[in-house]
Structure 1
Amino acid sequence: MTESIGTDSMMDAIGKAITEGRSGNVVSARGQLLDLWKTIGVGGDPLHRCTLAHSLADLYADPAQALAWDVRALDAADSISEQRVQEHHAGLHIAGFYPSLHLNLADNYRRLGSFEAAREHLDVARERSSALPPDSYGQLIRAVIDEVTTAVENRDTAVRASAPGVTA
């Protein structure tokens, strides 16, 4: 595994909050991330904004709330340079962010019953999936693209069993 280059206290704080959320402390994690969002601000470092928003979306069971954060994450990703990503972690590439970002948007739209919007984002996620690494993460994202595609075809708005984050 390629190591991170330098120390980024904001990414460390975001990572700590993400870990807190994954351990089940959703309310605390959400509060920490919202506080960090206030510190970063809407014009702050796009890598920070993208990472935080993408992770915060998973802490909302309501697909409309998750969608708002996933839109922020995609908007921020569009402002991240490859150089900025490489400064954070030499093994990352901005192109690899997009399949997951579009997949999350597709899943939110699907849960809201907006199947055409979901299909559009699934198409983009699939097109950009060639940027995913050939590892377990890449395999996971590709499998979930297929899973969400099936749910869209079936006009299923239920929470996926494999969905990250909170369910209630």
Structure 2
Amino acid sequence: MEPGNPVVLLCGQGMQAEAEGRADDAHALFQQAWDAAADDYDACVAAHYLARHQKTPQDTLHWNQECLRRADLVGDERVSGFYPSLHLNMARAHEELGERAESHAHYRQAADRIQDTPAGPYQDGIRFAVAKGLRATGEPAPDGALAELLAKLCARADLTALGLLLPSYLGDLGTAEDHAKLLTAVHMVHASRSLPEDEQALLRQAIAELTPR
């Protein structure tokens, strides 16, 4: 975003108000940002934040649609990194309205553009949310032995094994690359031989289930 832009400054103040629990002040600041928007870029930014403070799912969807529409009108590198988040927000809005097909389509578009967002914690957060949404709206999750193993690891708080497995498991968007990352993580835990034998057996089963035939 553009740090000196007055719309961006107003939205930053709104986020600060939101963090302090002043929801009405936050909404007022985001509305001021919308009113001050000088072009489609400004309007895209303001609409994104206004969508956070709507009282009905329909109004939330409206502002997310407006945000996406304005981003399309901008159409340059300033907004390219916004698209995974924009489609995620659209997907959530449709899901809240019970519009499963529309929701899934936007989750899929968010997944397809995930690399437009720079790698790091922000992208990871979007990736995990998109993967969860895809599973909730119809795409299968890695299941079977791996799911059983993760439940056991969570129950006994094996943070080392979970730290290796969960990022790939939770961030699986259904691509061949993501599948390979998950299989590699499972192999790494198996090779460490750090788990009880019953869990090692589940790892072997998970490897068999995940290995392409």
For the superposition of Structure 1 and Structure 2, which TM-score range results when normalised by the shorter chain?
0.7 to 0.9
In structure 1, C-alpha distance between the alignment counterparts of 2:94 and 2:2, rounded to whole Å: 36
Residue in 1 that maps onto 2:111: 126
Q: Gaps (5+ residues) in structure 2?
A: 140-213
Residue in 2 that maps onto 1:166: none
Q: Which has the larger radius of gyration?
A: 2
In structure 2, C-alpha distance between the alignment counterparts of 1:130 and 1:32, rounded to whole Å: 31
Q: Gaps (5+ residues) in structure 1?
A: 86-93, 155-168
Highest RCO, 1 vs 2 (Cα 8 Å, sep ≥ 6): 1
Residue in 2 that maps onto 1:80: 74
Q: TM-score, normalised by structure 2?
A: 0.59
Residue in 2 that maps onto 1:68: 62
> Tell me, what secondary structure is at the counterpart of 2:73?
coil
> Tell me, what secondary structure is at the counterpart of 1:7?
coil
Letter in 1 for 2:32: D
Change (3 A) 1:121 1:39: same
In structure 1, C-alpha distance between the alignment counterparts of 2:17 and 2:81, rounded to whole Å: 25
In structure 1, C-alpha distance between the alignment counterparts of 2:3 and 2:83, rounded to whole Å: 24
In the TM superposition, what is the alpha-carbon distance from 1:23 to its structure 2 partner? 2.3
State which of 7, 16, 27 in structure 2 corresponds to 1:10: 7
Aligned identity (percent) is 26
Residue in 1 that maps onto 2:134: 149
In the TM superposition, what is the alpha-carbon distance from 1:118 to its structure 2 partner? 0.5
Q: CA contact under 8 A between 2:3 and 2:9: conserved in structure 1?
A: no
Letter in 2 for 1:28: D
> Tell me, what secondary structure is at the counterpart of 1:58?
helix
Q: Deviations over 1:95-133 (max 9, x none)?
A: 211010001000110010000110111111111112121
Aligned residues: 139
Q: CA contact under 8 A between 2:13 and 2:29: conserved in structure 1?
A: no
Q: TM-score, normalised by structure 1?
A: 0.74
In the TM superposition, what is the alpha-carbon distance from 1:151 to its structure 2 partner? 2.6
In the TM superposition, what is the alpha-carbon distance from 1:33 to its structure 2 partner? 1.6
